[in-house]
Amino acid sequence: MRLSRYFLPILKENPREAEIVSHRLMLRAGMIRQQAAGSFSWLPLGKRVLDKVCQIIREEQDRAGALEILMPTIQSADLWIESGRYNDYGKEMLRIRDRQDRPMLYGPTNEEMVTDIFRAYVKSYKDLPLNLYHIQWKFRDEVRPRFGVMRSREFLMKDAYSFDLDYEGAKAAYNRMFVAYLRTFSRLGLKAIPMRADTGPIGGDLSHEFIILASTGESAVFCHKDFLDLPVPSADVDFSNDEEIAGIVEQWTKPYAATDEMHDEAAWAQVPEDKRLAARGIEVGHIFHFGTKYSKPMKATVMGPDGKEHFVSMGSYGIGPTRLAAAIIEASHDEAGIIWPEAVTPFEIALINMKAGDAECDRVCEQIYAALSASGREVLYDDTDQRPGAKFATADLIGLPWQVIVGPRGVAAGEVEVKSRATGERETLPIEAVANRFS
Ligand code: ATP
Ligand code: MG
Ligand code: MG
Ligand code: MG
């Protein structure tokens, strides 16, 4: 992509409304634009990041056996009246009426709708386990939308829903999502710690929030330092092996970890003092087993091997891709700007022409741009007539992992410079060697 033809509305000034660094950097780097309280457009650079985040989530959901669908954002109130949640949900739900004056709502979540799909088609235990997910916009009329896309009113959520014959099956489904989440966050370049979460009136021990440590996080969290170097399951983990999956979950739930709501001083006191980590965290994912909470009132049953009807045992599993884009920046930036992990960076390489219009610099840049593009690298080529200082500042701000810097002096010597955004290290390479350097 040539920067001269791109849409990258960089802000020079720090936007005053932004209280945290990710919000500030997303606005300054031209990733998002606020449209109303808690509502944002994703501009080209931001959209590329969001798509990569979603793609990683999707790959790991698929690997764990979940199936992607897409449900509407606008839902009829009927299903929610059936489950009993229409009145309970309160003011966070945006309620709408259509021209027939029928009550509708903008979905804050999809348990009811997916249960309706399930009960329409699935009749036998032989069709289980089943896990359906989608990546779709949600609306919650948050009391305090803030921190940009971190807590917005309209946001993207990946929500998966599992259906099983009994608790044992549901627990295995829960474990698969738990392991899929470990892999997902690790691939996104994040250390997310699963913490015991409140299961509310349903009870039970099957609810975990996945939390990223960050000083700007909204929750106070307490965990054992051992979490920081637990091994993340590899790509060849066998999701069809319930025991293997349960073993991983056990390992990842053994050390102490809790948010302030679930914090237990007595258990905390058992953690050796030098192993205690009391910090702040951001909730990026939440998995939850709720059994027959929706299948009972909505009559979602299957025929069991015993020839009887059973209410299916369900769980739901959420991740916020829009919040994650911000959380990744909270975890990876410096004074100059964003530092993207390779996995989600909008482009891999910033190709910087220090003297656009100079015949030799232009020629070398075109040659490198063509070679890198041909080998599949995603390059943002700064071919604008800005001064070098401004170009470097932009490149640092938008945080692509690599900068290839082409200037008249280097070109005369047959060389260009490669800079790592994360470490600041620079190397000088012969022009012909650049394509190989990134292959
Ligand atoms: P929070 O405690 O931050 O309000 P939640 O517990 O209400 O989140 P869940 O219902 O568990 O959220 O939704 C699953 C995921 O959706 C969350 O873990 C988070 O990543 C994302 N999410 C929830 N609310 C928002 C929001 N207002 N803006 C952006 N992402 C959100
Ligand atoms: Mg909430
Ligand atoms: Mg929460
Ligand atoms: Mg939650």
Indicate if ligand 1 lies below 6 Å from the C-beta of 284. Answer: yes
pLDDT for res 189: 95
Mean pLDDT confidence for 82-87: 95
| Backbone phi, psi, residue 420, to 5° | -85, 125
Residues of the chain above pLDDT 90, percent: 96
3-state helix, strand, coil in the chain (%, to 5): 40, 30, 35
Contact 285, 210 (CB under 8 A): yes
pLDDT tens track for 118-168: 999 999 999 999 999 999 999 999 999 999 999 999 999 999 999 999 999
**Residue 185: Cβ-neighbour burial (10 angstroms; 0-12, 13-18, 19+):** buried
- Tell which residue, 374, 389, 392, 380, has the closest CA to residue 3: 380
Strand boundaries in 11-52, DSSP class E? 32-36, 39-42
Q: Which residues, in sequence order, are CB contacts of 209 under 8 Å at separation 6+?
A: 194, 195, 197, 259, 283, 285, 286
Q: 193: part of which helix (H) or strand (E)?
A: strand 192-196
pLDDT for res 199: 78
Two structure tokens written together for 122: 């699935």
> Which residues share a beta bridge with 341?
none
Indicate if ligand 1 lies below 6 Å from the C-beta of 283. Answer: yes
| Backbone phi, psi, residue 127, to 5° | -90, 5
How close is the Cα of 202 to the center of ligand 4, in Å?
15
What is the β-pairing status of strands 309-311 and 130-139? unpaired
pLDDT tens track for 18-72: 999 999 999 999 999 999 999 999 999 999 999 999 999 999 999 999 999 999 9
Q: What is the mean pLDDT of the chain?
A: 96
> Which residues share a beta bridge with 47?
none
Indicate if ligand 1 lies below 6 Å from the C-beta of 155. Answer: yes
Q: Closest residue (by CA) to atom 16 of ligand 1? A: 320
Q: Which residues, in sequence order, are CB contacts of 359 under 8 Å at separation 6+?
A: none
| Residue type for position 194 | P
The confidence band for 202, taking pLDDT boundaries of 50, 70 and 90, is low
Q: Closest residue (by CA) to atom 19 of ligand 1? A: 320
Two structure tokens written together for 178: 């738990």
Longest dimension (CA), the chain: 82
The number of the ligand 1 atom at minimal distance from the alpha carbon of 210 is 18
Indicate if ligand 1 lies below 6 Å from the C-beta of 208. Answer: no
Q: pLDDT at residue 204 above 80?
A: no
Residues of the chain above pLDDT 70, percent: 99
Q: Closest residue (by CA) to atom 11 of ligand 1? A: 286
Q: pLDDT at residue 200 above 80?
A: no
Number of CB atoms found within 10 A of residue 33's CB = 14
Peptide bond into 129 cis (omega under 30): yes
Question: Per the confidence metrics, is the pTM higher than 0.95?
Answer: yes
* Ion ligand 4: protein residues whose beta carbon lies under 5 Å: 286
pLDDT tens track for 243-266: 999 999 999 999 999 999 999 999
Q: pLDDT at residue 89 above 70?
A: yes
The whole-angstrom separation of Cα 181 and Cα 192 is 9
- Tell which residue, 383, 418, 385, has the closest CA to residue 403: 418
Ligand nearest the Cα of residue 320 is 1
The whole-angstrom separation of Cα 105 and Cα 107 is 6
The confidence band for 203, taking pLDDT boundaries of 50, 70 and 90, is low
Mean pLDDT confidence for 283-300: 97
Mean pLDDT confidence for 73-84: 97
* Ion ligand 3: protein residues whose beta carbon lies under 5 Å: 283
Q: Closest residue (by CA) to atom 31 of ligand 1? A: 320
Q: How many helices (H) and strands (E) does the chain have?
A: 13, 23
204 vs 222 pLDDT, higher one: 222
The number of the ligand 1 atom at minimal distance from the alpha carbon of 140 is 27
Rounded to the nearest 5 degrees, what angle is found at the Cα of 377, between the Cα atoms of 134 and 331? Answer: 55
